[in-house]
Amino acid sequence: MFDIQNYASFVAAIVIFQLIPGPGTLAILNATARNGVGAGMGAVIGTLIGDFVYMIAAILGLAAVMKMYPILFQGLQWFGAAYLCWMGIQLLRTPIDASSQNSKPRQSAWVFFRQAFAVSLTNPKVVLFFVAFFPLFLRPDASSTTLAAMIAHVTLISLVYQAGLVLIGNLVARQLAAWPFARKLATRLAGIALVGFGVKLALNNR
């Protein structure tokens, strides 16, 4: 279908890739927990646009350029690691109690869009993933239409899955709203996870 080889496997691979939690997933869940569905969807759009940029970059050969200039790739990795650690530390430092939850001003979806977009772009290994992923399902004589269809599939499946995360995350956040300890624990765990992703990225960059 759409001149994509092994179409069912292609779709299944995208779904499996989405099920693997990463920094983008945490950014979406954090936005939803803090400011609801609107903020969560802002983070979703930011993540999708970041992935779209990397898919286009993969097709245009940015990965080849990065291999020719490894210092560029390493620089992006260090920046990404630092940004993820910074976000995690901010979560670890955020005060969580019943009064602060009610008094803290709500942030716009634009704020969480920018955060998620930055998280997506500071993971340069995504472009290498797409460079390795797309050829598995391309025919030798594939046209630009086939590549466009593959990008559309990744974007649409990601949107459906991540929107579902927002809806489920919002329900869970509302249930936890009356339990400051549970909210504090969830926030701290998210912060630790982000720092962990950042440290892992930095260690891989050594």
Indicate the domain borders of the chain.
7-204
Contact 123, 80 (CB under 8 A): yes
Q: Which residue has the tokens 């500071």?
A: 122
Residue 189 makes CB contacts below 8 A (sequence gap 6+) with none
Please give the pLDDT value at position 106. Answer: 65
C-alpha span between 124 and 164 (Å, rounded):
26
Local structure of residue 136 (DSSP, 8 states): G
pLDDT tens, per residue, the chain with 206 residues: 778 888 888 898 888 888 877 788 888 988 998 889 999 999 999 999 999 998 888 888 766 776 687 787 677 668 767 877 887 888 788 776 554 444 455 678 899 999 899 888 887 667 777 877 887 787 767 778 888 899 999 999 999 999 999 999 898 877 766 566 666 777 788 778 878 877 876 776 66
Residue 177 pLDDT: 61
Where does residue 16 rank: exposed (0-12), middle (13-18), buried (19+ CB within 10 A)? exposed
